[in-house]
Amino acid sequence: MIGDQRRECNREFGRFVEQHYTRWVADEEDSPPLSVDVVPEFVVPYLEQGRQVFFIVVDCLRLDHWMVMEPQLAEYFNIKRSYHYSILPTATPFARNAIFSGLFPKEIADKYRTLWDEAQDNEYSLNRHEHQFIDDLVRYMGVAFKPGSHYVKVLDTSEARKLTRRVPSLGKWPLVSVVYNFLDMLVHSQAQSDLLKEMAPNEAAFRALVQTWFGNASLFETLKGVARTDAVVVLTTDHGSMRGTRASVVYGDRSTSSSLRYKYGQNLRCEEKDALLIADPHAYGLPSTGLGHSFVIAREDFYFVYPTQFNKYQRRYKGSFQHGGISLEEMILPVAIMESK
């Protein structure tokens, strides 16, 4: 019963997004907070007040996952929770760059043409420039910091522990930006690992796993360290994830991207009821590499499988958590403003 209600909610939410999204891109004054609005709306006002900000982006943090993390932090912080919508596709190369730059992907491609062209062989390589993006954005908004800003990307436990130890020495930086990749790595691993599928076969089990992880994580220790300072923490994410339960056929070629909830390339075809076909990427704030270049974005809980060996890959990825599509779980995201008690 609840599952049917959630599926219907996501169906209606998808219709709502598809009806309004291009208008949001064209007129940001008439849109809900999107990825591109996070820094201007939630970070810059504190910098303008002269407060130090720890801007923490936990990659692939679902709202329900934050809801089991937040109570553990309530002992140390006064927490105000807001929300934003991820842009489409709900995936790191697009949404996280939009957060740090304040720009839609097409605008990034236009403004940083050399960086964009260099990144085409690896869609994730553009994320290497997030420090530059956020510095440029904050300066564009008229905020000058001295001696500058600090940026850390945490990819493993040793880097996480190092950051925890360094918190007391980071006071000279007005803005400290931190990216945590652990949850995103967990989601991708769950799709490939039978053990993780057994440990997190559904949303409730995944929430419990995240709750246990966070309670023992270096991220928690880092935040407790920040709570002993006067800094403001702005914690958010680039996208959530969706548990894929229904396979849908997609047609592409060797140049088509490999993600299961979104694809881009030349002459893509999909089942119209299962996915949004974006034939005009510019209307969605997305770049285009030429005639016939398009995107397909999965709706609801669908995931894409090619017609060759369809049954094999349908079984392999059924029940795995993915991102890139249109769903409440991927798009509606927390923005937590935390000040120490």
Burial class (CB in 10 A: 0-12, 13-18, 19+), 79: middle
- DSSP element (H, E) containing 57: strand 53-58
Smallest CA-to-CA distance from 267 within 254, 252, 289 is with: 252
Q: Which two tokens stand for residue 153?
A: 């990307």
Could you count the other beta carbons within 10 Å of the beta carbon of residue 162? Answer: 13
| 332 and 282 within one domain | no
Smallest CA-to-CA distance from 186 within 219, 164, 161 is with: 219
- DSSP element (H, E) containing 337: strand 332-340
310 and 47 Cβ atoms separated by less than 8 Å: no
Q: Is the Cα torsion angle 168, 172, 176, 180 positive or negative in sign?
A: negative
| 230 and 247 within one domain | no
The per-type count for the chain, helices as H runs and strands as E runs, is 15, 14
| 284 and 178 within one domain | no
The per-residue pLDDT for 143 is 95
CA–CA dist 9, 99 (Å, integer): 26
270 and 329 Cβ atoms separated by less than 8 Å: no
| 272 and 141 within one domain | no
| 307 and 197 within one domain | no
State the total domains in the chain. Answer: 2
| 256 and 213 within one domain | no
CATH number at residue 61: 3.40.720
| 217 and 142 within one domain | yes
| 256 and 237 within one domain | no
Stated length of the chain: 341
- This prediction has a pTM of 0.96
| 112 and 18 within one domain | yes
Strands (E), 4-140: 53-58, 77-85
| 336 and 305 within one domain | no
- Average pLDDT of the chain is 93
| 248 and 224 within one domain | no
- The range of the structural domain enclosing residue 255 comes to 243-321
CA–CA dist 335, 329 (Å, integer): 15
pLDDT at residue 28 tops 90 = no
The per-residue pLDDT for 223 is 98
| 20 and 111 within one domain | yes
Strands (E), 137-231: 149-154, 175-180
Strands (E), 217-313: 232-236, 242-243, 246-251, 262-266, 269-270, 275-278, 293-298, 302-305
- pLDDT tens across 152-210, in order? 999 888 999 999 999 999 999 999 999 999 887 777 676 677 777 788 888 999 999 99
- Return the biggest CA–CA distance within the chain: 58
pLDDT at residue 119 tops 70 = yes
